[in-house]
Structure 1
């Protein structure tokens, strides 16, 4: 799951379950106590993908510049780098 931008009751986190396609998403909430692994966007800065796609090549080129800032990888690229599940395409 990924954390989504929604309010949740104390002790819960708003999450989304992703499918293979962008429109295949399911909104839910889950107890914080059920979280087994947390990966922040900032933790993905050094993750290198074996795939050769334009977005990942651009990310590799920008890493030295972005290393001087506090930043992280989000969206489909972040999801792919965090999980290893292919979410990006050439376009």
Structure 2
């Protein structure tokens, strides 16, 4: 079990039981888990921030390198990252 798995389990248990020990309903959300470096995570967060409120796709930022997003935007994120990398790739002049 990774550190992230332990963190998610701990947070799920916290939300399941209140301080009085009563059971509380837990909401499950389908999404895509993104693991990347900090600059790429900031790029994805900025992509999300530039959209209108109705189109925002980030469900939760777990930490600096892990983001949980809505599943329908996976292809859009991949294409935007590919375009970003292509635009920022150095090509030695011949």
Compare CA radii of gyration and give the structure with the larger one: 2
Higher helix fraction (1 or 2): 2
Instruction: Give the TM-score normalised by the residue count of structure 1.
Output: 0.28
